[in-house]
Amino acid sequence: MRQITAQMVEQMDQNDELASFKKEFYTKDDSIYLDGNSLGLLSKRAEQSLLDVLNDWKEHGIDGWMGGKYPWFTLSEKLAEKLSLLVGAKEKEVIVTGSTTVNLHQMVATFFEPQEGRTKILADELTFPSDIYGLQSQLKLKGLNPDTDLIQVGSKNGLTLDEQDIIDKMTEDVALILLPSVLYRSGQLLDIERLTREAHKRNIPIGFDLCHSIGAIPHELSNWGVDFAFWCNYKYVNAGPGGVGGLYVNTKHFTKTPGLSGWFGSKKETQFDMDHHFDAENSAGGYQIGTPHMLSTAPLIGSLSIFEEAKIDRIRTKSLKLTSLLMDLLNQEIENEFTIVNPLDDTRRGGHVALMHNDAARICKALKQNGIVPDFRAPNIIRLAPVALYNSFQDVFEAVKILSKIMKNREYEKFENKREVIA
């Protein structure tokens, strides 16, 4: 492999079609932020749209629901039109609502319909813990035993999954499948299309947690026939800490009664009739539960306008170039120090690079002291996520130079190899 030079990296930035978007975000001159897969940075547009919604509250009071710059009553649906482009869905198949785990509960309560001989939920042992907590709760609510009715597909190496192992577990007693699109530690991108096809061959509904893929990777949920999906919007979509999430329901399921019914899932024209008969919207909007959180939704207005302009396919192309450069520089500058555990194949890699090292926790502390913001995942993984909208190729080049210095001088040894409360 040829030597990567500063001049080559400079040329990559000069050829970057998305370079102009960096100025849209609040970045720091003395820091390189590589933690967008955990919390995305604030954009100036997201800040302004939040201020706009605050102003509508100030100026209009309750009339903000139907008046003002962004009428609140239909804002979730308006934003869903833009969000649908990121997941490859029809507009009515998406709604902005809830949080990851609340939306998981809504989807599982709706799609998990155990019958005699078919009572199990299929998941995996590497997924984010909150998904497992939610599945355990749903099984208990149905009078089932999570110890026997929750199947978690194992990993051969503790880092990645083999799709064939998942397919082999799609047995006749499985009533529902829930998997991540991208594994949060290793960054492995699962083959959603293949897994959906195999699940449907066996008449098993299947859904995906898109938290670590939305905003970084294009999806084709409608074309693939995925039954449902849910996600947060505060990672790659940059909607702010605790920002309102989203969910997708395939059109063929619009006639299903939501497992968790709430008044904001009612048809808009009759919602304020206050009838005790629930008349759900014939769309993903019918799966809303409570009144939208306007101040947590507002940043999405600005954020999604950036995605409209940048285009998710271009974002994915740059993301892959950034992570490829990062891995190439690691191999060039810090050979044999780390094990790269994310897939090397572009078609199987999400938006971050995952490095395994026994001193991962204190290396992350040393990086932060040197102006690099990484992410640690127990027990020994450093996640580095150069984000296409606000990271440059020069950012990656500088970050690896600093990491190389830390490792050569063993600067990390002055820190305790233990995570902080927030990793």
At 110, which amino acid appears? T
191 is in an annotated binding site: no
209 is in an annotated binding site: yes
43 is in an annotated binding site: no
At 364, which amino acid appears? C
In this structure, what token pair is assigned to residue 383? Answer: 């996640």
CB-CB contact of 158 with 196 (8 Å): no
263 is in an annotated binding site: yes
CB-CB contact of 52 with 298 (8 Å): yes
100 is in an annotated binding site: yes
Contacts of residue 227, Cβ cutoff 8 Å, sequence gap at least 6: 111, 196, 205, 206, 207, 249, 250, 253
101 is in an annotated binding site: yes
- For residue 335, give the nearest of 313, 318, 355, 319 by alpha carbon: 355
For 140-176, letters b (16+ CB in 10 Å) and e give eebebeeeebbbebebeeebbbeeeebbebbeeebbb
236 is in an annotated binding site: no
Give kind and range of the element (H or E) at residue 393: helix 393-408
Q: What angle is formed at CA 236 by the lines to CA 72 and CA 127, rounded to 5 degrees? A: 105
Cα separation, 290 vs 280, in Å, equals 13
Annotated binding residues for pyridoxal 5'-phosphate, written as ranges, equal 100-101, 128-131, 209, 212, 234, 263, 291
Annotated binding residues, written as ranges, equal 100-101, 128-131, 209, 212, 234, 263, 291
